[in-house]
Amino acid sequence: MKRIAFLFSGQGAQYPGMGKELFEDSPAARAVFDLADEIRPGTSEQCFFGTKEELVLTANTQPCLFCMDLAAACALAEKGIAPAACAGFSLGEIAALSFTGVLSYEDGFRLVCKRAALMQEAAEKAKGAMAAVLKLSDAAIEALCDSFPGVYPVNYNCPGQVAVAGRAEAMPAFCAAVKEAGGKAVMLAVSGAFHSPLMDEAAAGLGAALEGFQPSAPRIPLYANRTGELYGENIRELIATQVNHPVRWTHTVQNMAKAGAEVFVECGAGKTLAGLVSKILPDAVVCRVENAETLKQAVRICGG
Per-residue confidence in pLDDT tens, the chain, 304 aa: 689 999 999 988 899 999 999 999 999 999 999 999 999 999 999 999 999 999 988 889 999 999 999 999 999 999 999 999 999 999 999 999 999 999 999 999 999 999 999 999 999 998 899 999 999 999 999 999 999 999 999 999 999 999 999 999 999 999 999 999 999 999 987 778 999 999 999 999 999 999 989 999 999 999 999 999 999 888 999 999 999 999 999 999 999 999 999 999 999 999 999 999 999 999 999 999 999 999 999 999 998 5
Catalytic residue among 44, 195, 196, 245: 195
Could you give the CA distance from residue 118 to residue 6 in angstroms, rounded to a whole number? 27
Catalytic residue among 90, 98, 191, 196: 90
Helices (H), the chain: 20-25, 27-39, 43-49, 52-55, 58-78, 92-99, 105-125, 138-146, 171-180, 200-209, 235-241, 249-258, 272-280, 292-303
3-state secondary structure 59-72: HHHHHHHHHHHHHH
The DSSP output letter for 230 is: B
Output phi, psi for 224, to 5 deg.
-95, 140
The bridge status of strand 184-187 relative to strand 151-158 is unpaired
pLDDT of residue 81: 96
Longest dimension (CA), the chain: 52
Residue 90 among the catalytic residues: yes
In contact, 170 and 149? CB cutoff 8 Å: yes
Residue 195 among the catalytic residues: yes
In contact, 12 and 271? CB cutoff 8 Å: no
Could you give the CA distance from residue 109 to residue 91 in angstroms, rounded to a whole number? 11
Domains of the chain: 4-124+196-303 (3.40.366.10), 127-187 (3.30.70.250)
Q: Sign of the CA dihedral 39, 40, 43, 45?
A: positive
Burial class, 83, CB count within 10 angstroms (exposed 0-12 / middle 13-18 / buried 19+): buried
pLDDT of residue 304: 57
Q: What is the pLDDT of residues 235-277, one digit of tens each?
A: 999 999 999 999 999 999 999 999 999 999 999 999 999 999 9
pLDDT of residue 1: 67
The DSSP output letter for 196 is: S
pTM, 2 dp: 0.94
